[in-house]
Amino acid sequence: MSLENTETKTVKEELLEKDRKYVWHHMSPHNDNPTIFVSGEGSWITDVDGKRYLDGMSGLWCVNVGHGRTEIAEKAYEQMKTLAYSLPTQSNEPAIRLAEKINEWLDGEYRIFFSNSGSEANEVAFKIVRQYYHQKGESTRYKFISRHRAYHGNSMGALGATGQASRKVKYEPLGTGFVHVPPPYCYRCPFGQTLGSCAFECAQIYEEVINWEGAESVAGVILEPVITGGGMIVPPPEYLSMVRDICDKYGVMLIVDEVICGAGRSGQRFGHQNFGVKPDVVTMAKGLTSAYSPLSATAVRAEMYESFKEKEATSHFRHINTFAGNPVSCAVGLENMNILEREDLVQRSASLGEGLRKRFEVLSEHPNIGEIRYFGSACGIEMVEDRATKVPAAAEKVLRIIQLCKQKGLIIGRNGDTVPGFANVLTLAPPFVTTDSELDFIAEVLGQAFAEL
């Protein structure tokens, strides 16, 4: 072993020792040997040993423009030198410019409330909608309808909206007022129907539940355009507009969670734009800055915002976050969105999805793959023990594929800690800068991993 390698090993062991002593890792049992990443460029990240991996998940569905963007780092540096912090009760130029850009992308008139994470953006949405109805004289409206399998955040309200039982064990009771309906899961239809011969029961259930709960008690519906982390569950094309119509019929606000589907991931600027609907509230994070700095936003229809201008002592929105609208994060977000526009990366996201679809045609015939689902450049591979019975693949089998891919230099994900017995969906969401040859690499590695299963 060379001296250089010996030194590298020494540094790694020192870091691992300190990691075991000081760091608590997210979403995993005590991990004594985490991979320590040290750099990234484009679609690739490198660990402390110098091994490179294609980041097939864009980190955690977030590094949309790819790693190592010096132009974003330079914008952050320039802003830090000029103004690193601004009171969230006042304003700053990057926040103003970014709010304007978000409105352009939403193609509507919204007011933008900044926070730090997707969980916070959704918490803000729930509070705003409840307060809005109070100020309209409809204070009985406080309930929100979400979906089983959906994820909306870690905080007590957002986790209450989340429809993933495994995430809630040992944390309940959570925020109250959240009701769940079955997902639009055509592969495993909760209503025993088949797409093409169904009556869209997955959408019609909203009207039934609104009536069962009492329409006067329901404030909003929250949904992702596609359930992403809960298993890449893609609805029928008609679904979202049907839910929008039901919300309109009963005076219920439609909150669309674009934390993952937004910022180009769907092949449109925002996921709901694939379905031709206009939400009342839109939440976003992750790809808003491509994870170069923490930032989220809750976009609220201008008409709703106006009700918060009343002169009563409690009419303003009494919510504050120390780092909300941070000028550095907003400068990063604006540059990120400019890159997405300049390099036509939203269209590239759509092309990546088509590229994956073509390359996975052979893979889709594997006996342990029940269905492959796509939404823009996001992809979910549902693993089964048997294609005829659709029995979900055992966790060990799913983890084996992930481990084999990592050994071969590809990082992919799965819908872990969602619903007991159904953590069987592999997920991919590569950066939009991923090249065609890198798509070939993804398909090759996955093919090899399934061949070795």
Output the CA torsion 432→436→441→447 (10° steps): 100
Question: pLDDT digits over 304-315, tens only?
Answer: 999 898 888 888
Average pLDDT (201-208) is 98
Domains of the chain: 35-65+345-452 (3.90.1150.10), 70-342 (3.40.640.10)
In the chain, the percentage of residues whose pLDDT exceeds 90 is: 91
Question: pLDDT digits over 231-288, tens only?
Answer: 999 999 999 999 999 999 999 999 999 999 999 999 999 999 999 999 999 999 999 9
By CB atoms closer than 10 A (0-12, 13-18, 19+), residue 452 is exposed
- The pTM assigned to this predicted structure is 0.95
How sure is the predictor about 295, in pLDDT bands with cuts at 50, 70 and 90?
Answer: very high
Q: What are phi and psi of 229, to 5 degrees?
A: -65, -20
Strand order in the sheet with 410-411: 37-41, 44-47, 52-55, 410-411
Output the CA torsion 435→289→18→38 (10° steps): 30
